[in-house]
Chain A
Amino acid sequence: MPVIVARDLTKVYGDNRAVDGIDFEIARGESFGLLGPNGAGKSTTMRMIGGTLQRTGGSMLVAGLDPAERGPEVRAHLGVVPQQDNLDEELSVRDNLIMYGRYFGLPYSYLRAKADELLEFAQLTDRGKAKVGSLSGGMKRRLTIARSLVNEPKVLLLDEPTTGLDPQARHVLWDRLFRLKEVGVTLVVTTHFMDEAEQLCDRLVVIDRGRIMAEGTPRQLIRQHSTREVLELRFGADRNAAVVAQVEDIGSRIEVLPDRVLIYTDDGEGALEAVTTRGLSPVTSLVRRSSLEDVFLRLTGRSLID
Chain B
Amino acid sequence: MTEGSTIADLGRLAASGRVPPPEVMARRARRWGWWFFVEAWLLGAKAWAVSILLYMVVTPLLYLTALGLGLGTLVDRGAGSVDGVPYLVFVGPALLVSTVVMSVGGELTYPVMAGFKWQRLYYGPHATPATPEQIAVGQLLGVMIRFVVQAGIFWLLLVLFDAAPSGWSWLSVPVAVLTAAAFGAPLQAFAASLEDEGYQFAFVQRFIIMPMFLFAGTFFPLSVMPVTLQWIGWVSPVWHGTQLARQATYGAAEPLWLTAVHVVVLAAMALGGILVGRRIYARRLGS
Closest-CB distance, B211 to chain A (whole angstroms): 33
For the residues of B in contact with A, the DSSP-based class is helix
Residue of A whose beta carbon sits closest to that of B40: A99
Is there contact, CB below 8 Å, between B120 and A103?
A: no
Residue pair A52, B14 in contact (C-beta under 8 Å): no
Whether a CB of chain B sits under 8 angstroms from the CB of A75 is: yes
Interchain CA distance A73-B124 in the complex, whole Å: 17
Q: Give which listed residue, B2, B7, B125, contacts A103 with CB less than 8 A.
A: B125
Q: Find chain A residues with CB under 8 A from B1 CB.
A: 120-121, 123, 176, 179
Q: Are B7 and A53 in contact (CB under 8 A)?
A: no
Any B CB within 8 A of the CB of A100: yes
Whether A89 touches B7, Cβ cut-off 8 Å, given contacts A120-B1, A151-B19, A183-B15, is no
Count of chain A residues near B, Cβ 8 A: 47
CA distance A103 to B13 in the complex (A): 19
Q: Are B29 and A72 in contact, CB atoms less than 8 angstroms apart?
A: yes
Indicate if A106 sits at the interface (CB-CB under 8 A). yes
Q: What is the minimal beta-carbon distance from B129 to any residue of chain A, in angstroms? A: 4
Across the interface, B124 reaches (CB within 8 A) one of A100, A114, A117, namely A100
Residue of A nearest to B44 (CB): A90
Whether A52 touches B286, Cβ cut-off 8 Å, given contacts A104-B28, A105-B25, is: yes
Chain B proximity of A45: nearest CB distance (Å): 15
| B26 CB–A CB distance under 8 Å | yes
Q: Give the docked Cα–Cα distance between A114 and B14 (Å).
A: 11
Give Cα A95–Cα B45 distance, bound, in whole angstroms: 13
* CB of A138, distance to nearest CB on chain B (Å): 15
* Closest chain B residue to A72, Cβ basis: B129
B11 nearest in chain A by CB position: A183
Chain A CB within 8 A of B279 CB: no
Are B43 and A76 in contact, with the CB atoms below 8 A? no
Q: How far is the CA of A184 from the CA of B13 in the complex (A)?
A: 12
Instruction: Give chain B's interface residues, CB within 8 Å of chain A.
Output: 1-2, 5, 7, 10-16, 18-20, 22-30, 32-33, 36-37, 39-40, 43-44, 47, 119-131, 285-287
Q: What are 20 inter-chain pairs, A to B, with CB distance below 8 A?
A: A53-B287, A72-B131, A75-B26, A75-B128, A76-B22, A76-B129, A77-B22, A86-B119, A86-B124, A88-B44, A99-B39, A102-B40, A104-B28, A105-B28, A105-B129, A106-B25, A152-B19, A179-B7, A183-B11, A183-B15
